[in-house]
Amino acid sequence: MAVGKTEFPNIPLIDGVRIGFAEAGIKKQNRKDVVLFEVCEGASVAGVFTQNAFCAAPVELCREHMAKSSSRYLLINTGNANAGTGVKGMQDARSCCDSVARLVGVDPSSVLPFSTGVIGESLPIDKLLSSLPVAVESLSLGTWFDAGEGIMTTDTRPKGAYRSCEFDGQAFHLAGISKGAGMIRPNMATMLGFIATDVSVDQDVLQSLLKEIANKSFNRITIDSDTSTNDSCMLIATGKAGNSKLTDLNSDFAQYFVSQLTSIMQELAHAIVKDGEGATKFVSIDVVNAESMKDATEIAFEVAHSPLVKTALFASDPNWGRILAVVGRANVESLDVHKVGISINGIEIVREGARSPSYSEELGQSAMAPENIEIRIDLGLGNFSDTVWTTDLSHEYVTINAEYRT
């Protein structure tokens, strides 16, 4: 089940990036489960990673390699997270990087590993290593669609987005894929996300920019409040567009580029929510007129994580008292319950902390029926606002996760 199912867009390759893939049979036979990105020399590569203390071996090794040298190859496998695997997990991650490095003639520190899938099981290293020559040989053949398929786990569809842009005669492009359908409350970015552009961007600027926009996109989605051990989001800037390298973001061109990058990252983040495990609703929770950004974010996530609110959303039941109770229990010291207003898809539910005089159960049910729902919570306290995107909670979510390993 998925919300607003759309076809994978036609995404041309970004100049300076090649994609390869292979079928290693890590968890299932006859499916793409290994993806290899090749990045041109001189490109900038930025990354943000999970803040889960039990981060996977590939996450640790990614950080180590990025601190040592420039990144040339990104290797992703699905079907096994290589997390909770101790010393052997790190040895296996290193073996993968060493193998790619030998095949393509680079230093192992130029190879970044990524894994997603079941936690706590050893990587089937022989299967993975034997697939790598095929992945390298296919570097001239692979597409963004191949990559999108090759990183899926419980996803029902590959997720991709593309932008072709021009500003004051300067053309540039952005493309990306993401994966994730469960264990989603990213505490940095998402389960896995890979975005590339041909714009030339300074390495430090790119890293700062990725962190900032991740907080406006992938860090504002939640399906089940669980932060993965493997969350990683990478941003590649090849420099092939021919622009003067962006060393700051003060120019008009830089600001336009940032707006397009924000747009594509939010689209990829929304695609994860719409493909949430068992999801039937795509829900925007807007908290406005808060005294601080922290308060707005806190309340938005509290509502998004409430099982009672999420099950009411699944049933299209306008049980607005559940939302009101969550707002009250959130850790907002300045909250004045007599100023709170709540609306659902433009229907006023709560005014000044109580049922709106214009509200009726029929109006509430009509507001909750669509698959796209906006819950707006007005705190009446200040000028800060924030938005979190989430899903409902259905029977199918329980089934998928109860049977995940079987």
- Residue owning tokens 């009672």: 308
One domain for residues 42 and 139: yes
pLDDT of 1 higher than 60:
no
* Cα separation, 222 vs 305, whole angstroms: 8
One domain for residues 24 and 44: yes
Cα–Cα nearest to 253, from 261, 44, 215: 261
One domain for residues 117 and 253: yes
What's the pLDDT score for residue 256?
98
Which residue type is seen at 35?
A: V
CATH code of the domain containing 134: 3.60.70.12
What's the pLDDT score for residue 3?
81
One domain for residues 245 and 301: no
One domain for residues 200 and 297: no
CB 268 within 8 A of CB 176: yes
Residue 3 within a domain: no
Chain segment 283-325, per-residue pLDDT in tens: 999 999 999 999 999 999 999 999 999 999 999 999 999 999 9
* 3-state DSSP assignment of residue 184: strand
Residue 9 within a domain: no
Average pLDDT, the chain: 95
Q: How far is CA 112 from the centre of its chain?
A: 18
Total of domains in the chain: 2
Chain segment 357-373, per-residue pLDDT in tens: 999 999 999 999 999 99
Q: Which two tokens stand for residue 152?
A: 């899926």
* DSSP-derived secondary structure letter, 385: E
Residue 2 within a domain: no
What backbone phi and psi angles, to 5 degrees, belong to 26?
-65, -45
Q: Which residues pair with 47 in a beta bridge?
A: 234
One domain for residues 261 and 345: no
CA distances from 348 to 202, 341, 345, 359, 375 (A): 47, 8, 8, 7, 10
Q: Which residues are catalytic?
A: 190
One domain for residues 57 and 115: yes
pLDDT of 6 higher than 80:
no
Neighbours of 67 (CB within 10 A): 8
pLDDT of 199 higher than 90:
yes
CA angle 373, 378, 381 (to 5 degrees): 160
One domain for residues 287 and 139: no
Which residues constitute the domain of residue 308?
A: 282-402
Report, in this order, helix, strand and coil percent for the chain, each rounded to 5. 35, 25, 40
**Domain boundary, last residue among 242, 273, 304:** 273
CB 230 within 8 A of CB 85: no
Which residue type is seen at 166?
A: E
pLDDT of 179 higher than 60:
yes
What's the pLDDT score for residue 165?
98
What's the pLDDT score for residue 328?
95
Lowest mean pLDDT among 10-19, 149-158, 179-188, 218-227: 179-188
**Domain boundary, last residue among 236, 256, 273:** 273
* Cα separation, 235 vs 214, whole angstroms: 10
One domain for residues 42 and 138: yes
What's the pLDDT score for residue 406?
67
Residue 5 within a domain: no
CATH code of the domain containing 383: 3.10.20.340
Residue 11 within a domain: no
Chain segment 96-132, per-residue pLDDT in tens: 999 999 999 999 999 999 999 999 999 999 999 999 9
One domain for residues 96 and 237: yes
What's the pLDDT score for residue 184?
78
Chain segment 187-196, per-residue pLDDT in tens: 765 579 999 9
Residue 4 within a domain: no
DSSP code string of 307-340: HHHHHHHHTT---HHHHHHHHHHSS-TT--GGG-
The arithmetic mean of pLDDT across residues 364-392, rounded, is 97
What's the pLDDT score for residue 301?
96
Residue 10 within a domain: no
One domain for residues 199 and 311: no
CB 303 within 8 A of CB 377: yes
pLDDT of 205 higher than 70:
yes
Residue 102 within a domain: yes
Q: Which two tokens stand for residue 387?
A: 């938005």
**Domain boundary, last residue among 273, 294, 328:** 273
One domain for residues 265 and 339: no
Q: How far is CA 315 from the centre of its chain?
A: 27
pLDDT of 330 higher than 80:
yes
Give the confidence band of 271 by pLDDT, cuts at 50, 70, 90: very high
Chain segment 77-91, per-residue pLDDT in tens: 999 999 999 999 999
What's the pLDDT score for residue 148?
98
